[in-house]
Amino acid sequence: MAATIIDGKEFAARVRAQVATHVTHLKAEHGITPGLAVVLVGEDPASQVYVRSKGKMTVEVGMKSVEHKLDVETPEAELLALIDQLNNDPEIHGILVQLPLPKHLNEDLVINSIDPAKDVDGFHISNVGLLGTGQKSMVPCTPLGCLMMLRDHHGSISGMNAVVIGRSNIVGKPMAQLLLNDSATVTIAHSRTKDLADVVRRADIVVAAVGRPEMVPGDWIKPGATVIDVGINRLDAPEKGEGKTKLVGDVHYDSCAAVAGAITPVPGGVGPMTIACLLANTVTACCRANGLAEPEGLTA
């Protein structure tokens, strides 16, 4: 039987609608407008695209969007001063510093200077620790989006065997933590894992976050398993015309879809969920800052 396609685009639109409803409520009942500040240092073209679409969607759900674009040579002290100013701004509930930063800036220092309560990317060491100990935290957006899709599809993932391929701080590790907090039995595979095919074949849930185009073939997938493809890889696509490119994930879609029970496509799977979860985190941070009830279903 063909796999169910988990439609991230449609799911993300639902999440954004939920966020928008809550923003309307916060404005009408409490006179509060959630605010998100995005800081971009330098002119990396991909980062500029991300920042633009984050700003656009923030406004679309009714929140306040503030963008700070800094010169590529901005001294660290200047960036830290801006973050301090945003930490102390009562109209700003979420702060995101677009990564990667130029090489002269210490990424850990910068991220850890954000007020953890406003750290809507969930990368601050305090949030990492809170997540690791199963406490309320700000959760990294991409893994949060994956978790929402898994909960929606399965109801409960308790007791399921989950394999996360990739151990990065922004996707692999927090993903594994979230799956563990939901009582899955979790294996983290990485570049040194022996017999990766064998490890993946035991999984009821596979989350691929590697950054290698189509590296997981269908014959690694246990029949009926759920496959969440986090990878975004741009490949040349001469078949579409000269100079054209296409996006593919970390799993080989056609062969995996033939065996899996459910699968996320690329594009249109995990990608759209990431920005939706950033908006969800901002509204959650705003509610927490004001001692108000958080919207249901938008946090881990």
Active site residues: 54, 98, 121
CB closer to ligand NAD, 184 vs 210: 210
Q: Which is nearer to ligand NAD, 34 or 140 (CB)?
A: 140
Closest residue to ligand NAD: CB criterion: 168
Write down the residue that tokens 């108000």 correspond to: 292
Minimum gap (Å) between residue 27 Cβ and ligand NAD: 29
**How many Å apart are CA 102 and CA 205, to the nearest integer?**
36
Closer to ligand NAD by Cβ: residue 112 or 193: 193
Q: Closer CB to ligand NAD, residue 9 or residue 25?
A: 9
Q: CA 291 to CA 285: how far, in whole Å?
A: 10
Rounded distance between C-alpha atoms, residue 63 and residue 35, angstroms: 6
CB of 167 or CB of 222, closer to ligand NAD: 167
Find the shortest distance in angstroms from Cβ 66 to ligand NAD. Answer: 22
Residue 238 CB, nearest approach to ligand NAD (Å): 22
Least distance to ligand NAD, CB of residue 195, Å: 11
Residues found near ligand NAD in the complex (CB under 6 A): 142, 165-168, 170-172, 189-191, 193, 196, 209-212, 230-233, 270-271, 274
